[in-house]
Structure 1
Amino acid sequence: MILGLGSDLCNIDRIQASLDRFGDRFETRVFTDLERAKAARRPFTKAGTLAKRFAAKEAFSKAVGTGFRAGVFMKDIGVVNAPSGAPTLALTGGAKARLDALVPHGHGARVHLTMTDDHPWAQAFVIIEAVPLDPDANR
């Protein structure tokens, strides 16, 4: 069952302006170390790489229904890659607690994430799905 859906559209030039104005202070406040390392390996598309991740964080906050309040902080939402290479989210702190609170008993959460960019826009969609912990439960 679908628990939440969120989307966000982010202007890459706005992220670049924040990088230019606030530099490391902006990056460390918003992005995880892993996200920052990935962006650093892409110097020509750093702002686009970070903008997609910014949009993913916003989309998740909408999918859980809180925005960035009730203990949900940007840095608690990290974009990572599954072994297949598909993007997904690693959650900590309040973001993980909020997700856990949404999941019905006997279910686990599966977070689906897709991101794209085409300058000057970056976009992300998040779908949160509850899946039965017992695979035979729906038979």
Structure 2
Amino acid sequence: MIIGIGNDMESIARIEAVLERRPNFLSTILTKEEIQAASERTGKHYLEFVAGRFSAKEAYSKALGTGIGKKAAWQDITILNAPSGRPEIRVRGQKATLSVAITHSGDYVSTIVVIEKLSCFERMKKKHWEKKR
């Protein structure tokens, strides 16, 4: 059952400007693991990564219905890539199943996050499918 869906769109140039104005912005919005992953990228790919994570965290907070604050803090949300390259979202204390999609086009990044509560049968089916991969 879907609990929430959130989406966000962000200008990559806007995030670049914020990074230039506020040196602590990166450590405010990204976890240590995300900062490490970002440091492995350069130029446009670095900016897309940071903007994508910012946007995905905003989308998560919208799916939750609370915005960023007490129930969804920047540092509670981590989005890293699976070995396949697909982004995966983890949230401290979140027991529901989370899905995230991040896409870039020109100067924009767009994200969507879905929060689902799976039935016992759905969890078993998912676990079985993941073993086959």
- Does TM, normalized by the shorter one, top 0.5? yes
1:7-50 per-position Cα deviation (integer Å, ceiling 9, x unaligned):
00011011101111122x11111101111111111111211110
- Count residues with an aligned counterpart: 123
Matches within 5 A, 1:9-88: 9-23=9-23, 25-44=24-43, 45-82=45-82, 84-88=84-88
User: Matches of 1:85 and 1:11 in 2, distance apart?
Assistant: 22
- State the partner residue of 1:115: 102
Shift of 1:134: 4.8
Percent identity of equivalent pairs: 34
User: Any unmatched runs of 5+ in structure 1?
Assistant: 101-108
Measured in 2, the distance between the counterparts of 1:136 and 1:42 equals 35
Q: Deviations 1:57-86 (Å, cap 9, x if unpaired)? A: 000000011001333211211102345442
Q: Which has the higher helix share?
A: 2
CA contact (8 A) 2:7 2:59 kept: yes
Structure 2: runs of 5 or more not aligned: 125-133
